[in-house]
Amino acid sequence: MRTRTIEILVGLFVVCGLLAALALAMTVSGLSGSKQDTYKIYAHFENIGGLSDKAEVTLAGVQIGTVSSIKLDPQMLTAVVEMKIFSEVDYLSIDSSVQILTSGLLGGKYIGLSVGAEEEVLTEGGVIEDSQSALVLEELIGKFLFNKVSE
Amino acid sequence: MLDTLAITGRLCIEKLAGFGRATFVLLHALLVWPQPGNSIPLIVKQLYSVGVKSLLIIVVSGLFIGMVLGLQGYTILVDFASEDAVGQMVALSLVRELAPVVTALLFAGRAGSALTAEIGLMKATEQLASLEMIGVDPLRRIVAPRLWAGFISMPLLSMIFAIVGIYGGAVVSIDWLGVYSGSFWSVMQSSVDFYDDVLNGVIKSLVFGFVITWIAVYQGLESVPTSEGISQATTRTVVYSSLMVLALDFVLTALMFGNI
């Protein structure tokens, strides 16, 4: 009986350790992501300025999906951002616009989505036409200086 | 003049001989291994006393360290309006550094000292000698299960520490301080890499578990068989393994993260 208790406790300990490993893989490092159903939409950006994989996609500040991959379009020379949107969010109109935003001064980049007015909604593989690139500080300062000089 | 030289030489030879004996003990215990049917129950018993009994202190300290990290990180990051990054800070510092190192230090105090005292007392009461008399190899019967239990339980304890700490940090920053939970987890997931961060932390804890149990077992076997000798050996175990853990942590960190 005593040995059996010990064996059960050791088994519990090992299972706890393995569960911790699983949790570290899934929730902490987001290895295989959540099981939540998603659909993919795409957007082209002229400059993604530090946006990375797994960044949030938000609507009115609330997360509705994540960035799943970022590639370069060799023809148009723009960045193609693939976003996975939670499937319960199925009311994004086809003329929605996306914008790359920064949370806080040092915070990460995320995508802010604002819904348009069309009746038709985005579905799997939909492309958002209206996109606004990330603000790059150096470009802003450059423009500002240029205006100052031309004054 | 010559005396001082002789003393230095003798000390060096003694240290080297000790290291050699320690390596011999390790190799002998690990290589003369399998004894099916008998070895698994012995390891399970040691896993209980080394791992399960350390679980409480690991969980409690992990929880509080995670909560403190959440609080401290928040108060600093809120000045830069970047409190969303608190999840990244808590997770990276726990997974990369604090979980392996603090677990190893606690493990040395909780399990390493017990191992040394147990083996030291077995030696003092001549149980090890009697085992040898009846033809049982004490290195195989006594030392090997303890070594294996140490190797197995350290990474498990370290991962439990990390995950409990991260949830502690999440509770403090999300439920108490009001960090938005979506960005807490997504910033964490986008910055923590499974191979670079989580697996390197596990490798660290494996190395620490190896070193601590090795030191503990060796100090127990080498202890002077008196009550004073056992107390000194126990102290040495804690001191040596803590120093080794901190020094090795620097070396491992430099190897793993030095070129990033």
Helix (H, G, I), strand (E, B) or coil at A41: strand
Determine the pLDDT at residue B35.
65
Q: Give the residue numbers spanning the domain of A20.
A: 1-33
For an interface test with A, give the residue of B59, B156, B188, B204 to mutate (most A CBs within 10 A). Answer: B156
Give the orientation angle of helix B55-77 with respect to helix B99-107, to 10 degrees: 140
pLDDT at B90: 92
Min Cα separation A36/chain B (Å): 14
Find all residues with CB under 8 Å of B127, minimum gap 6, and list them: none
Nearest CB among B51, B95, B152 relative to A24 is that of B95
The partner residue sitting opposite B194, judged by closest CB among A12, A29, A53, is A29
Interchain proximity A16–B190, CB inside 8 Å:
no
Give me the pLDDT at residue B248, please.
Answer: 94
**A85 plus A69 within the same structural domain:** yes
Give the pLDDT of residue A148: 81
A50 and A120 both lie in a single domain: yes
Give the single-character DSSP code of A69: E
Q: Which of A14, A29, A55 sits opposite B186 (nearest CB)?
A: A55
A150 lies in some domain: no
Residue contact A106–B44, C-beta within 8 A: no
Distance CA B221, CA B22 (A): 9
Same domain, A18 and A64: no
Q: How many domains does chain A have?
A: 2
Residues of chain A with pLDDT under 50: none
- What is the Cα B176 distance to its own chain's centre? 32
Residues 6+ apart with CB under 8 A from B30: B144, B147
Residue B212: the pLDDT is 94
Residue B51's identity, in one-letter code, is: G
Write out the residue range of the structural domain in which residue B142 sits: 2-257
Does residue A84 sit in the same domain as residue A123? yes
Q: Are residues A8 and A69 in the same domain?
A: no
Q: Assess whether A43 and A89 both reside in one domain.
A: yes
Q: What is the per-residue pLDDT for A24? A: 85
Domain count, chain B: 1
Residues A22 and A65 in one domain: no
Specify whether A76 is located in the same domain as A91.
Answer: yes
ipTM: 0.79
Residue A18 lies in a domain: yes
Touching A: B residues 142-201, CB under 8 Å: 152-153, 155-157, 159-160, 162-164, 166, 180, 182-183, 185-194, 197-198
pLDDT in tens, chain B (260 residues): 888 899 999 999 988 998 888 888 888 877 775 666 677 888 888 889 888 989 999 999 999 999 999 999 999 988 877 788 888 899 999 999 999 999 999 999 999 999 999 999 999 998 988 988 898 888 888 888 898 899 899 999 999 999 999 999 999 999 998 888 877 887 888 788 888 888 999 999 999 999 999 999 999 998 998 889 999 999 999 999 999 999 999 999 998 887 65
* Residues A24 and A51 occupy one common structural domain: no
Q: Are residues A3 and A60 in the same domain?
A: no
Identify whether A4 is part of a domain.
Answer: yes
pLDDT > 70 in chain A, percent: 93
- What are the backbone dihedrals phi and psi of residue B139, each rounded to the nearest 5 degrees, phi first? -65, -35
Residue B172: what pLDDT? 92
Whether residue A42 sits in one domain with residue A29: no
Instruction: Indicate if A93 and A119 belong to the same structural domain.
Output: yes
A149 occurs within a structural domain: no
Q: Where are the alpha helices (DSSP H) in B134-199?
A: 138, 144-170, 181-191
Map residue A48 onto helix, strand or coil: coil
Helices (H) and strands (E) in chain B, counts: 12, 0
B222/A contact by beta carbon, under 8 A: no
* Dihedral of the alpha carbons of A91, A95, A100, A102, in degrees to the nearest 10: -50
Output the pLDDT for position A32.
61
Tell me if A151 is assigned to some domain: no
In order of A23, B1, B22, B31, B67, the CA distances from B214 in angstroms are: 30, 37, 8, 14, 33
Residue A147 falls inside a structural domain: no
DSSP B11-68: HHHHHHHHHHHHHHHHHHHHHS---TTTHHHHHHHHHHHHTGGGHHHHHHHHHHHHHH
User: Up-side HSE of residue B38: CA atoms within 13 Å toward CB?
Assistant: 8
